[in-house]
Amino acid sequence: LIVVDVFAIMSSMDKNYFRSLIKHYFLKGKTAKETKEKLDKYYVANAPSDYTVKYWFREFRGGRNSTTDEIRSGRPSDAVTEENVKKIHEMVLADRKVKVRELADATKISTERTRHILGEILHMKKLSCRWVPRMLTPDQKHERESTSILNLKDSSYEKI
């Protein structure tokens, strides 16, 4: 009963944890239905779906021992590379009015990935036909702080 209360508090469970529980019940000789009922009883909203429990029972019946994801084949992510990010950044610094299409052509990647690099990695946005940083760089912040301190010390400014 205490175990139930502890698990009810947990908001989200790791999928490998649930897979291990499913494997435990499988090795104990329980059915997928019994396992699903136990998981629903103890983990209420966080329990894996009926399909997931059945899927892992099939996997374990087929001889699988691991509960971790297998390495998937597929096209590797090669658009957002350090070289492409650096090249796009250099091009934008050289010409702030450069077009996304020109950047994409120069790096031989899609315009969508180019926009991703500009917005999410370099934190830049298009403002009045120019690419500008969304946030100040540390140097710019320091420069503004220094200027503000000088302005506060300057006696010619009227104090409010």
pLDDT value for 86: 93
Please say if the pLDDT value at position 142 is more than 60: yes
Percent of the chain with pLDDT over 90: 44
pLDDT value for 137: 73
Please say if the pLDDT value at position 27 is more than 90: yes
Q: pLDDT tens across 52-104, in order?
A: 999 999 999 999 999 888 877 766 667 888 899 999 999 998 988 899 999 99
3-state SS string for 84-99: HHHHHHHHHHHCCCCC
Distance CA(19)–CA(25), nearest Å, equals 10
pLDDT value for 8: 39
Please say if the pLDDT value at position 155 is more than 70: no
pLDDT value for 24: 95
pLDDT value for 32: 96
More confident residue, 29 or 1: 29
Average pLDDT score over the chain: 83
Contacts 24+ apart (CB under 8 A), 124-132: 124/92, 129/97, 130/96, 130/97, 131/92, 131/96, 131/97, 131/98, 132/96
Sign of torsion, CA 92 98 101 105?
Answer: negative
Q: What are phi and psi of 125, to 5 degrees?
A: -140, 160
Q: How far, in whole angstroms, is CA 130 from its chain's centroid?
A: 28
Please report which confidence band the pLDDT of residue 9 belongs to, taking 50, 70 and 90 as the band edges: very low
H-helix or E-strand spanning residue 125: strand 124-127
Please say if the pLDDT value at position 115 is more than 80: yes
Q: Where are the domains of the chain?
A: 10-62, 82-121
* pTM (2 d.p.): 0.42
Are the beta carbons of 106 and 100 closer than 8 angstroms? Answer: no
Residue 45: half-sphere exposure toward Cβ, Cα within 13 Å? 5
CB crowding 107-141: b at 16 or more within 10 Å, else e: bebeeebbeebbeeebebeeeeeebeeeeeeeeee
Q: Which CATH number is 10-62 given?
A: 1.10.10.1450
